[in-house]
Amino acid sequence: MQSASDLRVKIFADGADKAGMLEMYKNPIIKGFTTNPTLVRKAGVRDYEAFAKDVLEAIPDRPISFEVIADDFSEMEEQAHIIGSWGRNVFVKIPIMNTECASSVELVRRLAHDGIKVNVTALMTLNQVDEVAQALEGGADACVSVFAGRIADTGRDPVPLMEQAVKILRDIPNAELIWASPRELLNIFHAEKVGCHIITATNDILKKLTLLGKDLHDYSLETVVMFYNDAIASGFNISHRAVAFGMSAI
């Protein structure tokens, strides 16, 4: 099995807890960071702009994505220019559509050709990938985030779709494909195999990198020990009573 340092796919940490982000920043395997409003809210952030600038001061040299928080496209555009001004390593997340199902592709086109580095997010179909690829062509550096994990949640295998997405973006050198919302560490190797440029993962998944190549017999023993120790620590008890199968105890 490959070690994490040998992977071609770049691993980005997905989260908005500053302490967790700084922990991952110490790891040279982590090549960038992504956030979203849900993760920022979960982290208890009250001031979005202050949080972003604080993080950027601590992490000035790896790409970080921050998302617009508007639903109207003109407001999204204004916010994108503001967010993009926060740092040279900033990518502005633009959702593929707004809450009324209106496509953001034309906004993406304008921003990309205005020099704003965008991360187009929440894509789940190849048609969306194709439209975004055309919009990004010839523009600033960009990312295309396909939510492979959410696709898998619907019972669909995301691997064939991601393989096709790689092909669509092959001739768009300024755009990188992100395997977003992975559900397990194995997805990193799925992304590697199909040729994704980037995979995002939460700290919970990334901490499992220490398990790569672990001896499965040893892991089996560790699991048994864990179950036993937890049973003892919980004070569980099974009483000793004489029981005859098929009849009452004598």
3-state SS string for the chain: CCCHHHCCCEEEEECCCHHHHHHHHCCCCEEEEECCHHHHHHCCCCCHHHHHHHHHHHCCCCCEEEECCCCCHHHHHHHHHHHHCCCCCEEEEEECECCCCCECHHHHHHHHHCCCCEEEEEECCHHHHHHHHHHHCCCCCEEEEECHHHHHHCCCCHHHHHHHHHHHHCCCCCEEEEECCCCCCHHHHHHHHHCCCEEEECHHHHHHHHHCCCCHHHHHHHHHHHHHHHHHHCCCCCCCCCCECCECCC
| Cα–Cα distance measured from residue 188 to residue 19, given in angstroms and rounded to the nearest whole number | 23
pLDDT at 157: 97
What integer best gives the mean pLDDT of the chain? 94
Catalytic residue, chosen from 10, 18, 26, 93, is 93
How confident is the model over 139-197, as pLDDT tens digits? 999 999 999 999 999 999 999 999 999 999 999 999 999 999 999 999 999 999 999 99
pLDDT(250) > 60 = no
pLDDT at 115: 98
* Cβ pair 33, 12 in contact under 8 A: yes
Task: Give the lowest-confidence range in 34-43, 91-100, 194-203, 206-215.
Answer: 206-215
Q: What is the mean pLDDT of residues 52-74?
A: 98
How confident is the model over 183-236, as pLDDT tens digits? 999 999 999 999 999 999 999 999 999 898 899 999 999 999 999 999 999 999
Both tokens assigned to 223 = 């699991």
pLDDT at 3: 72
Q: Which residue has tokens 């000035």?
A: 60
Per-residue pLDDT band for 241 (boundaries 50, 70, 90) equals: confident
Per-residue pLDDT band for 244 (boundaries 50, 70, 90) equals: low
* Cβ pair 184, 162 in contact under 8 A: no
Could you tell me what percent of the chain has a pLDDT over 90?
A: 89
Cα torsion 132, 61, 11, 43: sign: negative
pLDDT(242) > 90 = no
pLDDT(84) > 80 = yes
> Which CATH number is 4-211's, of 3.40.50.300, 3.40.950.10, 3.10.20.30, 3.20.20.70?
3.20.20.70
Q: How many residues does the chain have?
A: 250
Q: Distances from the Cα of 227 to the Cαs of 152, 205, 224, 234, in angstroms?
A: 30, 22, 5, 11
pLDDT at 239: 83
Terminal-residue alpha carbon distance, the chain:
58
* Cβ pair 197, 10 in contact under 8 A: yes
> Is 93 assigned a catalytic role?
yes
Task: Give the lowest-confidence range in 70-84, 130-144, 207-221.
Answer: 207-221
